[in-house]
């Protein structure tokens, strides 16, 4: 991203005046860490934090969502199974999120993150069984990965490294047990489409177009969830 910023000023109009301090990225990391700390205290276990009451109430279980517990499609994205799960996701969020926040701006970065989270949850509801349990920020983080690839493409900057990182993470999602490949792919696709709507928005009515696109993706994700349950 650092190499791409000068090219960005030559090839596209900035989406927003990016902040020097990645406030949204830092806040999301802090929120995830706080929730993890609460689950650890409740479960009295660092690696067994999924036995906490908060984890039981917030994780994405399709059967419970079908019974009306819709908050789970969002809250599950702030839970993690143990410290390594949290560490890997937060490291990826810090590395990718801060550059995306400088490019897109705070509000748009948050919009991409949240709509990708919904996309990952929608995919999980659509393809997993009623008693499956899904948790983690991976869907949203994959959405930022896809978004970064789209942004680099828009800036005409080589995106080979990002594509390789995405490919490696997809392979890990397939080979490692207990990893939600479906949720990752759902977040990846929705995040990439959302970012494309932001960076390719026409100059006329740019903000309205961007807001409409994010709104449409949100509605589509909710529609898929309703279909799934």
79 to each of 122, 151, 173, 181, how far by Cα in Å? 17, 28, 18, 17
Are the C-beta atoms of residues 138 and 89 closer than 8 Å to each other?
yes
How far the first Cα of the chain sits from its last, in Å, is 40
Burial call 110-147: b when 16+ CB within 10 Å, e when fewer: bbbbbbbbbbbbbbbbebbeeebbbbbbbbbbbbbbbb
Residues that are catalytic: 138, 184
Q: How far apart are CA 14 and CA 6, in angstroms?
A: 11
Specify whether the CB–CB gap between 115 and 190 falls below 8 A.
yes
In the DSSP assignment, the letter for residue 60 is B
Phi and psi dihedrals of 204, rounded to 5?
A: -75, 130
CA 6 from centroid of its chain's CA atoms: 27
């Amino acid at each position: 991203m650092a190499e791409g910023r000068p090219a960005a000023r030559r090839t596209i109009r900035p989406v927003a005046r990016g902040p020097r301090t990645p406030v949204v990225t830092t806040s999301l990391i802090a929120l995830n860490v706080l929730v993890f700390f609460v689950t650890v205290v409740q479960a009295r276990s660092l690696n067994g934090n999924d036995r906490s009451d908060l984890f039981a109430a917030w994780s994405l279980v399709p059967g419970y969502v079908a019974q009306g517990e819709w908050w789970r499609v969002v809250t599950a994205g702030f839970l993690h199974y143990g410290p390594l799960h949290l560490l890997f996701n937060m490291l990826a969020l810090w590395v990718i999120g801060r550059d995306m926040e400088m490019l897109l701006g705070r509000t748009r970065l948050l919009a991409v993150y949240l709509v990708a989270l919904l996309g990952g949850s929608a995919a999980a509801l659509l393809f997993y069984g009623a008693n499956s349990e899904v948790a983690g920020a991976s869907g949203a983080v994959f959405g930022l990965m896809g978004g970064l690839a789209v942004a680099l493409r828009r800036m005409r900057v080589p995106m080979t490294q990002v594509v390789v990182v995405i490919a490696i993470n997809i392979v890990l999602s397939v080979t490692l047990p207990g990893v939600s490949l479906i949720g990752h792919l759902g977040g990846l696709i929705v995040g990439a489409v959302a970012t494309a709507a932001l960076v390719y928005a026409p100059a006329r009515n740019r903000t309205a177009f961007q807001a409409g696109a994010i709104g449409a993706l949100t509605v589509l994700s909710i529609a898929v969830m309703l279909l799934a349950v």
